[in-house]
Chains A and B, each alone.
Chain A
């Protein structure tokens, strides 16, 4: 780890101001991705701006139509929330399988989606549920939020404050973990609800999370695993590594999607 300055602002406005003033500064929320990168000296931020002292950023609220998870809410809190379990059980279940217990107790939803690791779980939920990402300055639709590998629509001084998830009629997430890291090698989130029928795939795309148009079309006609029979995924935009070729990932997308639909009921 290299040396850096450390700030612990008490409000989002103050955090945004610090961030705007120093282009080399990084926000830190749970630190579950950033700390390992710092320890390996793969990043050299001038300062860390710790969001941990901002009480406004933590909490879950549920209305008749929407689950709102504030940016610094931990995965463990989402997983344990009776309200989330009631409203969007797939979201609570997804959160309960991120990393391990230590990661879930530190890692946060805002950190996860702002980082947009291509193997993270949350981006699939945000995209498939058609969520809205609220920031320190605006609201961004999920479809506009994830722009590429480790890239989002966030401006350099913009902070994720909350994510609004429209409550779906049906939803489920199934992942095939990377055998070594246990990150998603392929994760598919399917949802049917106010935002239509949506299928989001994480872990597999060379550019991060993506929607699967052919599957959405088929499921819109008939919400059943059988409807996905014969639908393939072009392999050219998928990841390849020592654990899974593009072709294997493409195949697993089909299997995980069918299982997700079956699980959603």
Chain B
């Protein structure tokens, strides 16, 4: 056994079962006497339901039941709740229209669930679903934010005229106006942050079961946070008390945010299982994933940056429209507000910032957090604007960033948009990235590419993000309807092996390895003696799950706190066994030692004594060795870094190839460098996907044109270069590990670096900005227009 503690690139323990097909995903769960649900979904973006005739389906072979929204309403089943309330500028709450589990009266997007058919087999349920006759009154759709905000636009919700969910702002408008009035230069940019469809490898799935003997419900579901689902579904939708409802999220094949939310199908299978007294399974096909998983991003923004004559940022003004889709998904309202506008200072000393965000309902799939959630939108906007300011002022892109960086001696640094950064060294991440990417010799590579007929460009982003969400009191004051602490329960077994129950959930992040390394490091035991348990509300204390790169910063901190409690108690037991004073006991490498002597007890011996307390300080200490810690973070954490991208464009076709990518990130202390590298690479691949390939397209009628893998361009292995990943660490100052988070940095840092490179490659064509995705067609149009302009001259 080599070193397994903090800093070791231990291979992921979970990979053997994933790579050899031995994982247990929700669809692998099959219960005795199980029935199958198929959801009938709206083919229309916006329509009134005049009638539903289920008689033919009800009598079809194998059909057990057919339910519609009316059946759920008759049993007073609640709508899907929203977990965050944002307030308007005037202090009034946002519009929060109902989100029925099955549509009632009207459908609001293609894919909106209308009915469920439950049959003996999935094929029978599908056959019967086709026999449901729905009489539609098709209504005009508000398929885009532009359409939804037109006077006289169709109302997505009848009681939300104008389709505005909220009109929110942050920052000091007067200070910003004053700064603009005296600015030497104003850089302006209008941009679209393209809408994305998450497409986790594993489609969503849910299995509901009801035990008539005990009255207990169980839901197996593809979730990033089973306790949150239990709370939302039990308390707000189905009215099942928590002690009678168990939610299990077993192996989950990717989430990227899309599996945070409480979805209709979870409530449907649980409720139906109770009614039918049979387990009910629903598994999405890929088409359903496209039309029912929450989408991501989808902003339209105008921004202005005021600068002095030296290129120093004086103020930033931002106006953003954010698409909510047809209903408010669980955390949708906070994404374009508290996870977006609060990041608009970036890594810069901009003294005044004012942001206005209008959230808009449209007849599209709900939009919610997707890897990065608000922070990629803020970063893309800011970094593009900084590039444009540099271009228009004739200042080098690197130099303008240096002039505006928050210096490393300025921490803790209070931004004008609410956040207080605890640590960072932005010059260092920049310097290391420039060096690793050979920035200084780029012009040679550009010239060499030109000889091959290619247009080569280089782009840079210096980003920051906020993760480790979050201090409960802070998010509560901002409208969160949940606490955001994390929990760990550590159970030392009698022979000294250790079981850790964590409230976080691993769906690709490698917690079973990283957390076991933490324990191995803390207790001096081999990783083989450590089991990490997550994803089951019947086993784990109430935890908040995994999203926002929070698992190590918040969940790992809870593990440290619980470990400290275990060690404190074990020292008292060891002191008794060694007949020494507890102050004299050292614990190191798995051995309790009376300081300065050779008198020792192993961790296993102490553990056994705790459970076989024959020789034990029973008067002052309870037997057993098990501790729980709930850790509520003091602040967010602030990973930051520098990403540099080089592209080559084929001027004949407009094709872009990413030829080099360098990421130097400050993610705080690194527990497992290999896992961090993998997280950064995955994030960068998604960032390249957003920048060059992916986009969700609806037509004017609200039909999804990019509704399959035939038309939605996911990044593939050959779209992504070999990514050079480095870290330049400053410690987080407020959590016990000094960790910050690494899950989202790639998706946040990459897009502006890629687009910056594309724009740089096209510099001779008069391009200052190009919206994402920079597809070959979009670039060809620019090239073609440029050539035609040249020909005309």
Whether A180 pairs with B777 at a CB distance below 8 angstroms is no
Whether A248 pairs with B711 at a CB distance below 8 angstroms is no
Whether B653 pairs with A243 at a CB distance below 8 angstroms is no
Is B713 an interface residue, CB under 8 A from the partner? yes
Chain A residues with CB under 8 Å of B287's CB are 40
Chain A residues with CB under 8 Å of B776's CB are 179
Whether A243 pairs with B777 at a CB distance below 8 angstroms is yes
Is B652 an interface residue, CB under 8 A from the partner? yes
Is B706 an interface residue, CB under 8 A from the partner? yes
**What's the count of A-B pairs with C-beta under 8 Å?**
41
Interface positions, chain A 76-110, Cβ under 8 Å from B, are none
Is A120 an interface residue, CB under 8 A from the partner? no
Considering only CB atoms, which chain B residue lies closest to A3 in the complex?
A: B123
| Given A244-B777, A251-B784, A179 and B693 contact (CB-CB distance below 8 Å) | yes
Whether A180 pairs with B710 at a CB distance below 8 angstroms is yes
CB distance from B144 to the nearest CB of A (A): 15
Considering only CB atoms, which chain A residue lies closest to B712 in the complex?
A: A180
Is A58 an interface residue, CB under 8 A from the partner? no
Interface positions, chain B 739-788, Cβ under 8 Å from A, are 775-777, 780-781, 784
Interface positions, chain B 652-673, Cβ under 8 Å from A, are 652-653, 655
Whether B709 pairs with A248 at a CB distance below 8 angstroms is no
CB distance from A205 to the nearest CB of B (A): 18
Considering only CB atoms, which chain A residue lies closest to B776 in the complex?
A: A179
CB distance from A119 to the nearest CB of B (A): 10
Whether B780 pairs with A251 at a CB distance below 8 angstroms is yes
* Cα separation A40 to B784 with both chains bound (whole Å): 39
* Cα separation A128 to B275 with both chains bound (whole Å): 63
Chain A residues with CB under 8 Å of B655's CB are 176
Q: Mark B703-736, 1 if CB is under 8 A from A, else 0.
A: 0011001111110000000000000000000000
* Cα separation A45 to B776 with both chains bound (whole Å): 39
Is A114 an interface residue, CB under 8 A from the partner? no
Considering only CB atoms, which chain A residue lies closest to B783 in the complex?
A: A251
Q: Mark A19-35, 1 if CB is under 8 A from B, else 0.
A: 00000000000000000
Interface positions, chain A 220-265, Cβ under 8 Å from B, are 241-245, 248, 251-252, 255
Whether A181 pairs with B777 at a CB distance below 8 angstroms is no
* Cα separation A40 to B287 with both chains bound (whole Å): 9
Interface positions, chain A 40-74, Cβ under 8 Å from B, are 40-41
Is B153 an interface residue, CB under 8 A from the partner? no
Interface positions, chain B 678-716, Cβ under 8 Å from A, are 693, 697, 705-706, 709-714
* Cα separation A252 to B655 with both chains bound (whole Å): 11
Among B706, B709, B781, the residue within 8 A (CB) of A242 is B706
Whether B713 pairs with A179 at a CB distance below 8 angstroms is yes
Considering only CB atoms, which chain B residue lies closest to A183 in the complex?
A: B710
| Given A243-B775, A251-B780, A176 and B713 contact (CB-CB distance below 8 Å) | no
CB distance from A244 to the nearest CB of B (A): 5
Whether A181 pairs with B652 at a CB distance below 8 angstroms is no
* Cα separation A40 to B711 with both chains bound (whole Å): 16
* Cα separation A2 to B653 with both chains bound (whole Å): 42
Whether A248 pairs with B780 at a CB distance below 8 angstroms is yes
Chain B residues with CB under 8 Å of A244's CB are 777
Whether B697 pairs with A242 at a CB distance below 8 angstroms is yes
Tell me what chain A mostly uses at the interface: helix, strand, loop, or mixed.
loop
| Given A242-B697, A248-B780, A251-B780, A181 and B705 contact (CB-CB distance below 8 Å) | no
Chain A residues with CB under 8 Å of B123's CB are 1
Among B126, B652, B712, B777, the residue within 8 A (CB) of A245 is B777
CB distance from B251 to the nearest CB of A (A): 24
Chain B residues with CB under 8 Å of A245's CB are 777
Tell me what chain B mostly uses at the interface: helix, strand, loop, or mixed.
loop
* Cα separation A108 to B653 with both chains bound (whole Å): 30
Whether B780 pairs with A181 at a CB distance below 8 angstroms is no
Chain A residues with CB under 8 Å of B775's CB are 179, 243
* Cα separation A41 to B125 with both chains bound (whole Å): 14
* Cα separation A251 to B712 with both chains bound (whole Å): 23
Interface positions, chain A 167-218, Cβ under 8 Å from B, are 176, 178-181, 183
Chain A residues with CB under 8 Å of B780's CB are 248, 251
Most buried by B among A40, A180, A244, A255: A180
| Given A179-B775, A242-B697, A242-B705, A255 and B652 contact (CB-CB distance below 8 Å) | yes
CB distance from B479 to the nearest CB of A (A): 37
* Cα separation A242 to B711 with both chains bound (whole Å): 8
* Cα separation A244 to B779 with both chains bound (whole Å): 12
* Cα separation A179 to B692 with both chains bound (whole Å): 10
| Given A179-B693, A179-B775, A252 and B710 contact (CB-CB distance below 8 Å) | no
Among B127, B130, B711, B781, the residue within 8 A (CB) of A181 is B711
Whether B652 pairs with A248 at a CB distance below 8 angstroms is no
CB distance from A186 to the nearest CB of B (A): 9
* Cα separation A241 to B705 with both chains bound (whole Å): 9
* Cα separation A251 to B651 with both chains bound (whole Å): 12
Among A180, A183, A252, the residue within 8 A (CB) of B653 is A252
Whether A255 pairs with B653 at a CB distance below 8 angstroms is yes
CB distance from B506 to the nearest CB of A (A): 30
Considering only CB atoms, which chain A residue lies closest to B715 in the complex?
A: A179
CB distance from A245 to the nearest CB of B (A): 7
Most buried by B among A41, A183, A243: A243
Chain B residues with CB under 8 Å of A178's CB are 710
Whether A180 pairs with B713 at a CB distance below 8 angstroms is yes
Considering only CB atoms, which chain B residue lies closest to A182 in the complex?
A: B716
Chain A residues with CB under 8 Å of B714's CB are 180
CB distance from B776 to the nearest CB of A (A): 7
Chain B residues with CB under 8 Å of A1's CB are 123
CB distance from A239 to the nearest CB of B (A): 13
Among B126, B127, B130, B711, the residue within 8 A (CB) of A180 is B711
Considering only CB atoms, which chain A residue lies closest to B695 in the complex?
A: A242
Chain A residues with CB under 8 Å of B777's CB are 243-245, 248
* Cα separation A40 to B781 with both chains bound (whole Å): 35
| Given A243-B775, A244-B777, A176 and B709 contact (CB-CB distance below 8 Å) | no
* Cα separation A183 to B711 with both chains bound (whole Å): 11
| Given A244-B777, A255-B653, A180 and B709 contact (CB-CB distance below 8 Å) | yes
* Cα separation A245 to B777 with both chains bound (whole Å): 8
Chain B residues with CB under 8 Å of A180's CB are 706, 709-714
* Cα separation A90 to B127 with both chains bound (whole Å): 46
* Cα separation A178 to B709 with both chains bound (whole Å): 11
* Cα separation A257 to B154 with both chains bound (whole Å): 48
* Cα separation A41 to B123 with both chains bound (whole Å): 11
* Cα separation A242 to B694 with both chains bound (whole Å): 12
Considering only CB atoms, which chain A residue lies closest to B719 in the complex?
A: A179
Chain B residues with CB under 8 Å of A242's CB are 697, 705-706, 711
Chain A residues with CB under 8 Å of B709's CB are 180-181
* Cα separation A104 to B148 with both chains bound (whole Å): 46
* Cα separation A41 to B711 with both chains bound (whole Å): 19
Chain B residues with CB under 8 Å of A243's CB are 711, 775, 777
* Cα separation A255 to B784 with both chains bound (whole Å): 13
CB distance from A167 to the nearest CB of B (A): 31
Whether A181 pairs with B710 at a CB distance below 8 angstroms is yes
CB distance from A254 to the nearest CB of B (A): 9
* Cα separation A2 to B775 with both chains bound (whole Å): 38
Most buried by A among B653, B655, B693, B777: B777
Chain B residues with CB under 8 Å of A2's CB are 127
Considering only CB atoms, which chain B residue lies closest to A254 in the complex?
A: B652
CB distance from A251 to the nearest CB of B (A): 7
Whether B653 pairs with A176 at a CB distance below 8 angstroms is yes
With A179-B775, A251-B784 already in contact, 17 other A-B pairs whose C-beta atoms are closer than 8 Å = A41-B126, A41-B130, A176-B655, A178-B710, A180-B706, A180-B710, A180-B713, A180-B714, A181-B709, A181-B711, A241-B711, A243-B711, A244-B777, A245-B777, A248-B777, A252-B653, A255-B653
Residues of B within 8 A of A (CB): 123, 126-127, 130, 287, 652-653, 655, 693, 697, 705-706, 709-714, 775-777, 780-781, 784
**10 contacts across the A-B interface (CB closer than 8 A):** A179-B776, A180-B710, A180-B711, A180-B713, A181-B709, A181-B710, A242-B705, A243-B711, A243-B777, A248-B777
The 6 closest A-B pairs by CB, nearest first: A180-B713, A181-B710, A179-B713, A255-B652, A248-B777, A242-B697
